[in-house]
Amino acid sequence: MLDIIPEILTAEQVAQCRHLLANAAWQDGKTTAGHVARQAKQNRQLAADDPLTTQLGNLILDALVRNPRFMSAALPLKVLPPRFNRYENGGHYGNHIDGAVMNAPGSSQRIRTDLSATLFFCDPDDYDGGELVIEDTYGSQSIKLPAGHLVLYPGTSLHRVTPVTRGARIAAFFWVQSLVREDSQRSILTSLDTAIQHVSADTPDSDAVARLTGVYHNLLRQWSET
């Protein structure tokens, strides 16, 4: 399931991030790529141990926890600290699938990448190209979102970033290990959660709300991995 989640960050938070990232110590993105991905990758990234990576990553993690839509769609068990990349002057990333398991920086903890996420810091008019193209069950999806918006999609998806021919595309990216491994099951739970919220808003005293909530939690109990 591909989910676009608006306004993860406020306009003020986006402006703060862009100001700090403007003079960041960007490095060649190939240094963090595997052998196959290195051939397809042309961008710049912040080092995982850069203090700015930690500062802005914590800002994003705090915002994610407060966002009901992200929590409903991702059902996060573990979230890898966000990283940051920059594409310009023809920079791109060819077709690839993210690694299935990744190490958390500075620890021995390993995280299964059930979901991939990209959070945009630049508005679409700021640059040409730079679309995130995701191949999913519904075909090819081209994503280029306003600053502060996030796209969440299955880590199993083949995806790429098209060449940036004008301006710069700056974004955060990270991965989530979900309580529910299977994308189809997460999709069912998200749809059910959304329906519960609508019924609760329309008829808050309805017995259906309690029954549907019970179904939701029983399915989560059956499908979750902790």
Kindly calculate the radius of gyration of the chain based on its CA atoms and give it in whole angstroms: 18
Rounded to whole angstroms, the Cα distance separating 51 from 34 reads 24
Q: Is the pLDDT of residue 35 over 90?
A: no
Q: Which residue has the tokens 């991939």?
A: 116
Which residue, among 186, 194, 130, has the nearest Cα to 153 in the 3D structure? 186
Q: What is the pLDDT of residue 1?
A: 86
Q: What is the pLDDT of residue 36?
A: 61
| Mean pLDDT estimate for the chain | 94
Q: State yes or no: 98 annotated in a binding site.
A: yes
Q: State yes or no: 149 annotated in a binding site.
A: no
Torsion of CA 138, 198, 223, 114, to 10 degrees: 40
Q: Is the pLDDT of residue 7 over 70?
A: yes
pTM: 0.94
Confidence of residue 104 (pLDDT cuts 50, 70, 90): confident
Q: State yes or no: 198 annotated in a binding site.
A: no
Q: State yes or no: 159 annotated in a binding site.
A: yes
Helices (H), the chain: 11-21, 35-40, 51-65, 68-74, 183-202, 207-223
Residues 155/175, Cβ–Cβ less than 8 Å: yes
Q: The tokens of 163 are what?
A: 């060449």
Any bridge partners for residue 42, and if so which?
92
> What average pLDDT does this structure show over 147-159?
97
Rounded to whole angstroms, the Cα distance separating 168 from 129 reads 9
